[in-house]
Amino acid sequence: MKVFIAGGRGRVGSRLADTLEAKGIEAVPGGLEDGIDVLSGKGLAEALVGVDTIVNVLNTPRFDAEGAISFFEGAIDTLTAEGERAGVRHHIVLSIVGVGEGDASEIGYYLGKVAQEKAVRSASIPATIIRATQFQSYIPVLIDQHTVDGKVHAPRSYIQPVELDEVVDLLTEAVTTLEPGSEIEIAGPDRFFHDDLFRATLAHRGDRREVVTVEGQGPIEAMVPRGAHRTGVVRYPIPGIPTV
Ligand SMILES: NC(=O)c1ccc[n+]([C@@H]2O[C@H](COP(=O)([O-])OP(=O)(O)OC[C@H]3O[C@@H](n4cnc5c(N)ncnc54)[C@H](OP(=O)(O)O)[C@@H]3O)[C@@H](O)[C@H]2O)c1
């Protein structure tokens, strides 16, 4: 089996490549530094020769709706066109739990992920969508994203961070055993309020930024799974945070 990982040198992609290779599965990394551009299609035809499955773990620094939508949707279109020519039979996409809902419904980046899901669902290559909650290792970045004028604005809504390796394991399962057409969500074992999690993480890191609680504008559970989902076993590395 040969797998093309779009974004294969990124945070998720590089761990997935190592995991697949350890199982004896050939993993071809596809990123800009490999000379592959998923938007223009440069280098894709050659990289996809003999590939059965594409795993799409691409990312963009564009957080505005226009930039994020054109990136995520454009990449699906190009990967589908080139993948179809190469005989790819399965396109697996990593998305985020809750995008398009509640507080997240107006966030430009999340609108890009919604467009990505919609595009791959209606594309000609059978698709699987894995939706993960926020990675535990990503929480400090998330805190920075919520910081305005030195203060961290944290919604009083739920968050259930997951360990990245457990997401990689589910992507690996999607590659090796899942039939195309699945949509699966994965979250960590514990559910917190954003503001409690942010305060504890900052205190643990000796970061004195103040956390300001803001009331959520949407459902309190918008960013956590509400139906059947996989639950990871790895706990958030800071003990003592109140769970809900
Ligand atoms: N962070 C979270 O908590 C979280 C939770 C759930 C889901 N996710 C999703 O997980 C996915 C992967 O995230 P990540 O943190 O692993 O991303 P990342 O580390 O930023 O990696 C993104 C990759 O995309 C590649 N890329 C960007 N533009 C490209 C282009 N035009 N052509 C080819 N490759 C391009 C980059 O290649 P170069 O390195 O060569 O530039 C890089 O390898 C994202 O879709 C994100 O929405 C994230």
- Bridge partners (DSSP) listed for residue 183: 129
Residue type, 13: G
Query: 31 C-alpha to center of ligand 1: Å?
Result: 9
Which residues, in sequence order, are bridge partners of residue 30?
A: 6
- 187-204 pLDDT, tens per residue? 999 999 999 999 999 999
79-110 confidence digits (pLDDT tens): 999 999 999 999 999 999 999 776 667 789 99
Binding pocket residue ranges, ligand 1, CB within 6 Å: 7, 9-13, 30-33, 36-39, 57-60, 94, 96, 113, 132, 134-135, 138
Question: Bridge-partner residues for 2, per DSSP?
Answer: 26
| Residues 83 and 125 sit within 8 Å (Cβ to Cβ) | yes
Predicted pLDDT at 220:
87
Which atom in ligand 1 lies closest to the alpha carbon of residue 95? Answer: 7
Residue among 194, 94, 93, 60 at smallest CA distance from 139:
194
CATH architecture of 2-231: 3-Layer(aba) Sandwich (3.40)
Domain borders along the chain are: 2-231
Q: Which residue has the tokens 């609680």?
A: 213
Q: Which atom of ligand 1 is nearest to the CA of 72?
A: 45
Question: Residue 215's pLDDT is what?
Answer: 83
- pLDDT at 104 (0 to 100): 65
One-letter amino acid for residue 85 of the chain: R
Q: What pLDDT tens digit does each residue of the chain (244 aa) get?
A: 999 999 999 999 999 999 999 999 999 999 999 999 999 999 999 999 999 999 999 999 999 999 999 999 999 999 999 999 999 999 999 999 999 776 667 789 999 999 999 999 999 999 999 999 999 999 999 999 999 999 999 999 999 999 999 999 999 999 999 999 999 999 999 999 999 999 999 999 999 999 999 986 678 888 999 999 999 999 999 999 999 9
| Per-residue pLDDT, 113 | 96
Rounded distance from Cα 8 to ligand 1 centre (Å): 8
